Amino acid sequence: MNIQSSSSERARLGILMLDSTFPRILGDVGNADTWPFPVRYAIVPGATPHAVVCEDSEPFVQAFIEAGRGLVAEGCTGIATTCGFLAPLRSRLASALGVPVAASSLEQAPQIAACLPADKRVGILTISASTLSSALLQSAGVPPKTPVQGVDGGSFAKCILGNETRLDVAAARAEMEAGAKALVSAHPNVGAILLECTNMVPYAQDIHTATGLPVHSIYGYLRWFHQSLAPSHFDN
């Protein structure tokens, strides 16, 4: 199933959506109004948040490829996904689709780390620390021993992973702030926070206010990614 954004301008960025029913509030990668440019979506049947985050994304590889091919056929020249846990699929998606792929927010970790002072490191806030394996982090190029803090078990995680139809935004905001503070408290040398989960973007400013640190997410990543697909014009 494909969903076009409301803009009549051609969509260069195609976004592969998990099979979800939870609310896509403003700021969420799956809300077309989040983006200052047109996007095109394709839902991957059966690839629910719980299946991808808590089980295994491997059974859905071909389904992601097929959905991606549909987006490329419709004119998309770059593909992204809506889950940080899909980093292991990036190389296969890029090879199969023949276009650049941004599969996970985690892929930014090496560049973020390179920007920080020598005594600082990037820290990751994730929806599920219990299933964010070292192998998955390695597939995204995340530096070894990068600190990770989860919001496992809270109302936000239960809503997203359980595909619930109601999201308590205020509770989710409080959980993000608490998780970020716990990350920084446990690892005082964290100099920037990277949000693994694409659904955490609406709370990025709250996390920044709570910690005073730079906050990176899929939002900044895909704005950078899109700039290469549709470079800005400067009328000189």
Q: Going from the N-terminus, what domains does the chain have, and what CATH number goes with each?
A: 2-104+220-229 (3.40.50.1860), 105-217 (3.40.50.1860)
What pLDDT shows up at residue 6?
A: 41
Nearest partner of 13 among 37, 30, 34, 29, judged by Cα: 37
Residue 37 in this model has a pLDDT that exceeds 90: yes
What pLDDT shows up at residue 1?
A: 45
The alpha-helical segments, DSSP class H, found in the chain are 49-50, 61-73, 90-97, 109-115, 134-139, 155-161, 169-186, 204-211, 218-229
What pLDDT shows up at residue 8?
A: 43
Q: Using one digit for the tens of pLDDT, what is the confidence trace for 133-148?
A: 999 999 999 999 999 9
Residue 80 in this model has a pLDDT that exceeds 60: yes
Q: Using one digit for the tens of pLDDT, what is the confidence trace for 173-184?
A: 999 999 999 999
The sign of the CA dihedral 80, 82, 87, 89 is negative
How is residue 69 written in tokens? 């091919």
* pTM for this prediction: 0.94
